[in-house]
Amino acid sequence: MAGLAEPYKIKSVEPLRMTTRAERVQAIRQAGYNTFLLRSKDVYIDLLTDSGTNAMSQGQWSALMLGDEAYSGSESFFRFEAAVREVYGMPFVVPTHQGRGAEHILSQILIHQGDVVPGNMYFTTTREHQELAGGRFVDVIVKEAHDAQNLDPFKGNVDLGELERAIVEAGPEHVPYVSVALTVNMAGGQPVSLENLRAVRRLCDKYGVKIYMDATRAVENAYFVKEREAGSEGRTVREIFREQLSYADGCTMSAKKDAIVNIGGFLATRDEETFEAAKELLVVFEGFPHYGGLAGRDMEAVAVGIQEMVDDDYIRHRVLQVRGLGERLLEAGVPIVQPVGGHGVFLDARRFLPHLDQEELPAQSLAAALYVDAGVRAMERGVVSSGRDAKTGENHHPALELVRLTIPRRVYTESHMDVVAESVSHLFQRRAEIPGLKFVFEPKRLRFFTARFEPLHPSPIFEA
């Protein structure tokens, strides 16, 4: 399909090791059935995340040599700052080692004990930092987001009624900001419309509440707006991107996604007071404000990536590659979150494994089974990722119990996508044999990263 042909060619290659099923059975056992704990040498196609796993361009690689590694006053910082100003339209920016560094700083500055932070669905690290700062996250995403089969084009939207209720209930003085993610990762990479962003802005202005966006995948969001929202068809992604951000007081950013690099992030704002406070905390937790935990060369790569990410041909291919995988799975009858989102295809483990209860960790088990089948590494995004309720100690039971096949940017070819589609379809044929899992080790915070599991009963799925 012409639409899917890559708008780049390969200049440097990284060999992949082919493994046997017996080796993979051994590897997943050693990893405690947690795909996070696999060694990458044992993985054939790595769809764990699109975070920091991207292929940089020749422009980015050559920019690395320009890295000015001065502790203070680095030219690389000023090039990075200029890119953020130009593309995001934010006057003040501090670099951070990655997105959660920015979330930490922002949360510590703006959130006070007992505050409420409404947002369009939680993200793991974002909510953790809000809670560490004494806040409470309140989900105000539209209800369609929780339904894997609802075809609404903007399932990332904020439910305005719920947002107003959250602000009124807490009292606007106890709402430091509304957190709006573009796109919404945990909902399956679903976008927010410009119309919704404008309405959220009006509502927040009415109550004097700030908006901080999580701009991690905001380019994908802008592409969906161009594709789906009346009035934006003829605009460039760059223009739409800039308009999206115009409704925010500031943003946190994981450059490891949109900006097509391997490490980096930032906190940008229009508010000078917040910027001053951020610089003070930055020196404690990240580094001097002219590098914030990054090398000068990292900031150079981000600066170039910020320009490349808003190229229309690039982002169109990115989104269509992801969608192409989703469409192949749908043809095979595999249940996935629809519409297909921006950064990955999300398998709906509830419908894939209807014989398993959520307490039997269906998405975790499906991710482990997929690895054994073909060496494809995916990530659980369900009950394990969701953690336990801080008060009751019970597992959260998110409506979405998903396995995420996340596509790194500019890394895999269509043939790799074929392998993934075939393996998932194969597993779908054998789905009745996939057993549940139980925890054998469970850390307190962000448990999905390091927890270990065992199958509830022996199954050929996990045998050689």
Active site amino acids: 71, 123-124, 214, 257, 381, 448
Residues 44-83 that bind ligand F0G (CB under 6 A): 49, 51
Nearer CB in complex with ligand F0G: 410/431: 410
- Is 299 among the residues that bind ligand F0G (CB under 6 A)? no
Can you tell me which of 67, 95, 99, 119 binds ligand F0G, judged by CB under 6 A?
99
- Is 125 among the residues that bind ligand F0G (CB under 6 A)? yes
Nearer CB in complex with ligand F0G: 180/356: 180
3-state DSSP of the chain = CHHHCCCCCCCCCCCCCCCCHHHHHHHHHHCCCCHHHCCHHHCCEECCCCCCCCCCCHHHHHHHCCCCCCCCCCHHHHHHHHHHHHHHCCCEEEEECCHHHHHHHHHHHHCCCCCEEEECCCCHHHHHHHHHCCCEEEECECHHHHCCCCCCCCCCCECHHHHHHHHHHHCHHHCCEEEEECCEHHHCCECCCHHHHHHHHHHHHHHCCEEEEECCCHHHHHHHHHHHCCCCCCCCHHHHHHHHHHCCCEEEEECCCCCCCCCCEEEEECCHHHHHHHHHHHHHHCCCCCCCCCCHHHHHHHHHHHHHHCCHHHHHHHHHHHHHHHHHHHHCCCCECCCCCCCEEEEEHHHHCCCCCHHHCHHHHHHHHHHHHHCEECEEECHHHHCECCCCCCECCCCCCEEEEECCCCCCCHHHHHHHHHHHHHHHHCHHHCCCEEEEECCCCCHHHCCEEEECCCCHHHCC
Amino acid at 462: F
- Is 193 among the residues that bind ligand F0G (CB under 6 A)? no
Q: Which stretch binds ligand F0G (CB under 6 A): 93-101, 106-114, 170-178, 232-240?
A: 93-101
Nearer CB in complex with ligand F0G: 88/462: 88
- Is 176 among the residues that bind ligand F0G (CB under 6 A)? no
Whose CA is closest to 265, among 243, 239, 287, 240? 287
Q: Which stretch binds ligand F0G (CB under 6 A): 95-103, 196-204, 267-275, 382-390?
A: 95-103
Q: Which stretch binds ligand F0G (CB under 6 A): 1-9, 96-104, 317-325, 332-340?
A: 96-104
CA gap 386, 15 in Å, rounded: 35
Nearer CB in complex with ligand F0G: 217/297: 217
Can you tell me which of 214, 229, 298, 401 binds ligand F0G, judged by CB under 6 A?
214
- Is 296 among the residues that bind ligand F0G (CB under 6 A)? no
- Is 98 among the residues that bind ligand F0G (CB under 6 A)? yes
Q: CB of 182: closest distance to ligand F0G in angstroms?
A: 9
- Is 238 among the residues that bind ligand F0G (CB under 6 A)? no
List of residues 6+ apart from 59 with CB closer than 8 A: 304, 308
CA gap 290, 22 in Å, rounded: 49
- Is 185 among the residues that bind ligand F0G (CB under 6 A)? yes
Residues 359-418 that bind ligand F0G (CB under 6 A): none
Nearer CB in complex with ligand F0G: 174/257: 257
- Is 265 among the residues that bind ligand F0G (CB under 6 A)? yes
Nearer CB in complex with ligand F0G: 126/358: 126
CA gap 407, 54 in Å, rounded: 9
CA-atom Rg of the chain in angstroms? 21
- Is 130 among the residues that bind ligand F0G (CB under 6 A)? no
What's the token pair of residue 261?
A: 């690099």
Nearer CB in complex with ligand F0G: 218/304: 218
Query: Given the structure tokens 């209930």, which residue do they identify?
Result: 169
Q: CB of 266: closest distance to ligand F0G in angstroms?
A: 10
Q: CB of 5: closest distance to ligand F0G in angstroms?
A: 27
Can you tell me which of 74, 126, 130, 269 binds ligand F0G, judged by CB under 6 A?
126
- Is 342 among the residues that bind ligand F0G (CB under 6 A)? no
- Is 35 among the residues that bind ligand F0G (CB under 6 A)? no
Residues 104-123 that bind ligand F0G (CB under 6 A): 123
Can you tell me which of 127, 256, 317, 350 binds ligand F0G, judged by CB under 6 A?
256
Q: CB of 157: closest distance to ligand F0G in angstroms?
A: 16
Can you tell me which of 100, 297, 350, 431 binds ligand F0G, judged by CB under 6 A?
100
Interface contacts to ligand F0G, rule CB under 6 A: 49, 51, 98-100, 123, 125-126, 181, 185, 214, 216, 254, 256, 265
